[in-house]
Amino acid sequence: MKNYKNSVKNVVAGMLVLLAFLPGELSAQNRAIEFETGSWAEVIQKAKKENKPIFVDAFAVWCGPCKWMAKSVFTNDTVADFYNSNFVNVKMDMEKGEGIELAKKWKIQAYPTLLYFSPEGEMIHRICGAYPANEFVLGGENALNPEKQFGQFVKKYENGNRDPEFLAHYVQLLAESCMGGKEETEVYFATQKDEELTSERNWNLTLMLVDDMNSRVFKNLENNKKIFEEKYSKEAVAEKMEQVYTTALMRQLYKKDDAGYEKVQQELTSRKNDLADKAIAAAELNKFEIRNEWDKYANAASKFVSNYAMDDFGTLNSIAWTFYEQIKDPKQLKKAVAWAKKSVSLTEKPFNLDTYAHLLYATGNKKEAIVQQKRAIELAKKTGDPMVSDLENNLKMFEGK
């Protein structure tokens, strides 16, 4: 089973992140946020009448983090009491009805996006992503505080505020709201001297916002790689650099610009950088997968695993599962069995045990597949993993039931 958090594709990180459960998480009980069911005009009318701001959960039906918030956060007593007392609340499917036009108007880029409006319907604050209860309440508190409202930062920027402290906060808010902010980020970094780019604040903003491999900020990171590694960590620096390199390649792939893709490859090769070479190899896998060129994918995957992934349990699992789904050559599938086994030996999880079991089954070792699937089920039950029922259904398939 492919775990989305460990796919090779996710070197190109999206801004939407399902936040981990934090210490001090508020426990869910019996109450829930009360959502209105009328039109947007009717919601504004009610908000004006009650003199309350409006909270909108902008969601899509296919969005997993949206479902998690609806089930685990909106049903929290503290959350319910705070939002019911301070806001008129709305859940809106942005891909149906009036949500389609409002999504364009509100510039929805990711799901869930959490929006806050004045009683008159003027947007005052926004964040995006799925938040645990205490962080979600904090988001609502910020929406009620004019000094922290996203909308106030937008107005100050539009009115010419270019103070570095203000800009640093503003571009962070843009990232947290999934609003991009490339221009604003460039304006901020223009206020920073080269020697200031290694500061903790600038490093954190680089991690969140910088994705152009030819930008001044990223070139500074390349040229001062050792300094960044010493101040932060070798792993974090490598992950960021790979992400930027791979993003440059994937942009061309998604545009179907073969010439542009080859040009970026040549630029990366000329940098004589091991991380750039790894990004090229990862992008090749994505290219063959996008084009359904599975023989080429299989050959490229073998090289990628040998050179870069033998100690990466998530990538081993991801590639092994792709082999299970797409590769029919028995010799190639035997390689995938070995990768899945290695993944399990590095870090045992229900999803990679499931991958291992599927590949054993596909290569004719049904008895061992059943053994491994039972281990996956046992571990999932022990850790409270929600995939137990899927694993049990797979076991029935292996057993011929």
* Set 66, 127, 209, 268: catalytic member: 66
* Set 63, 174, 282, 316: catalytic member: 63
Kind of pairing between the strands at 113-117 and 88-93: unpaired
178 is catalytic: no
Mind telling me the catalytic residues?
63, 66
